[in-house]
Structure 1
């Protein structure tokens, strides 16, 4: 394989430093979502060196030009944990306006979407059994799909901005973005992309049922720990059924993303054509993101090196045709 340059740029998203400089009972928000005329139903706070946290705007306030001017002078804004769910509902509604905002550049839109959907995905993974997660996952996916459909340069913009520090929720969002970009490259229609995005976003839900010390272990897992980890696809499948997901493609993506073409995967030991399209796509994106993100026990590797490993060491595990399409997507 001839070596080509794959653009890769790590940034600090607004979500990555949620607790920095503020008490744990406050959550950092993305102030770029606040527009003149917005009626906010949550109070906003800023970190004051003297009083620690000070009120900036009271709940039930309409943002005006003066508020907006003052916003520019404050680096970080927070909501209290008690109003986090209200703020997140606001975020879900504002994401659509962000997609449609002609005053924002594509890179600005992608940055806001990634930061905001990271926060929503974190909440989703902290409460995986919540019935509203079906609708939340759709609301996370929709602005990403719409941006991909409306600008041919979106794929490259998303790939540039994806974070390279590993957390379960950011990994799931990254895999979802890669899968949506890849699905678009493969010509999937909007309905299929919505389903694929949801499957990819929820593919690791089952990790909520695995012991925390195993999920976050520094170093290689023991055989016993690995056997426990291997249960996460079937656990995720059960959670998906319990929250009302009936779509077979989505369920396949969640349950079978660790199956391998040679039959040595898990949990069902599927082989070759028994593995459907969604698990094949998610499997490629899952491995790529795992290789290119930094973990507590390993450094991130370059995109080219990750692709080389996937092509040369995993031809019996991953769909080579999908890997080739993935490479084309990264280079276009």
Structure 2
């Protein structure tokens, strides 16, 4: 569930807290709002109601700055937040940390829903719209890619990995001064780069040990699966399609699926490859602990120096210093 702020509120089992600023005024909710009276939670706005301007002002005057919802309404609340993301982010006085939490949690929710239910053209479009809104906020300096990534738990799940890779890619591209359209193409390819893993047996994807050679060969099919899924859902941007198909290619020709060399791998794909590897190295897996940022960067710059664009790794280092 989306939690819009890192601020700590009193905990009630079966309920989630969030700042009052994330609720739009005079707009139907679809979920019940509760407030804390000091001893227990009481219903304040019913699901069919709305939060009115004078009601909010009265609450703030009485030092009520947050609501609760039942965890059973989490999915409805998350969809409400995503549908109104732009409006919520434009709330006066909202801090960078609050905006970062809303954006990051929204992206996690959309990708988790995609992997755990089904992939459709409408969900892909929603992901792209979310990336577009994220990039606008990064360009305007309301948030940074690093401030968004600070919210990662570094526990590897395919959906969270896709979100992290997209954010690293946005940050690297922004360091290079790429324009909004270029960043959107790269971010779209990055967040969708692993959707093909939904066509691979979960026993392989989630195996708590090193893969066998046969299992690894199966995993190596996922870029082509990702490419096919996007085509099936109407993707026509050749640069996005190239990123999802080629994100495991290496500059020295040692990658897959086609063993391409430096001259055949686009700059956008090279960015996503660096982002992909860095997030994988710095994430906890069932069979290995996450490496530190320093160790991961050293691994990439020393052991993988012929495979990766080293200038992009330098851009990654600069980006991570802008939290």
Shift of 1:277: 1.5
Question: Residues 212 and 56 from structure 1, CA distance in 2 versus in 1: closer, same or farther, beyond 3 angstroms?
Answer: farther
Given candidates 194, 200, 208, the residue that maps to 1:204 is 194
Out of 144, 150, 163, the residue aligned to residue 154 of structure 1 is 144
- Cα distance in structure 2, aligned partners of 1:32 and 1:178: 30
Aligned equivalent of 2:250, options 260, 269, 279 = 260
TM superposition score normalised by structure 2: 0.84
Aligned to 2:31: 43
Deviations 1:149-169 (A, max 9, x none): 111762342232333111111
Higher mean C-alpha deviation, range 99-108 or range 28-37: 28-37
Distance 1:76 1:165, change over 3 A: farther
1:267 is displaced (CA, Å) by 1.2
- Is the contact between residue 99 and residue 143 of structure 1 (CA under 8 Å) also seen in structure 2? no
Residue 310 of structure 1 deviates from its aligned partner by: 0.4
Q: Could you report, residue by residue, the CA deviation over 1:85-125 in whole angstroms, capped at 9, with x for unpaired residues?
A: x6454222321123322311112211121122211221122
Quote the Cα distance in structure 2 between the aligned partners of 1:325 and 1:93.
Answer: 33
Q: Give CA-to-partner distance per residue, 1:126-180, whole Å, 9 cap, x none.
A: 3453121231112221221111111176234223233311111111101111101
Which shifted more, 69-78 or 293-302? 69-78
Q: Could you tell me whether the CA contact under 8 Å between 1:133 and 1:243 is conserved in 2?
A: no
Gaps of 5+ in 2: 5-11, 35-40
Taking the TM superposition and a 5 Å limit, the aligned residue runs for 1:213-224 are: 213-224=203-214
User: Secondary structure of the equivalent of 1:62?
Assistant: coil
For residue 320 of structure 1, the aligned residue among 299, 307, 310 is 310
Give, in whole Å, the separation in 2 of the partners of 1:317 and 1:254. Answer: 18
Native 8 Å contact 1:31 1:71 kept in 2: no
Structure 1: gaps spanning 5 or more residues:
1-11, 47-52
Q: Please show how residues 112-261 of structure 1 align to structure 2 within 5 Å.
A: 112-151=102-141, 154-261=144-251
Find out whether 1:78 has 2:66 as its counterpart.
no
Q: For 1:281, which of 271, 276, 298 is the aligned residue? A: 271
Is 1:63 aligned with 2:51?
yes
CA RMSD after TM alignment: 3.1
Classify 1:153/1:59 alpha carbon distance in 2 versus 1 (closer, same or farther; 3 Å): closer
Aligned partners of 1:30 and 1:116 also within 8 Å: no
Q: State the match for 1:3 in structure 2.
A: none
Question: Equivalent residue of 2:169, what SS?
Answer: helix
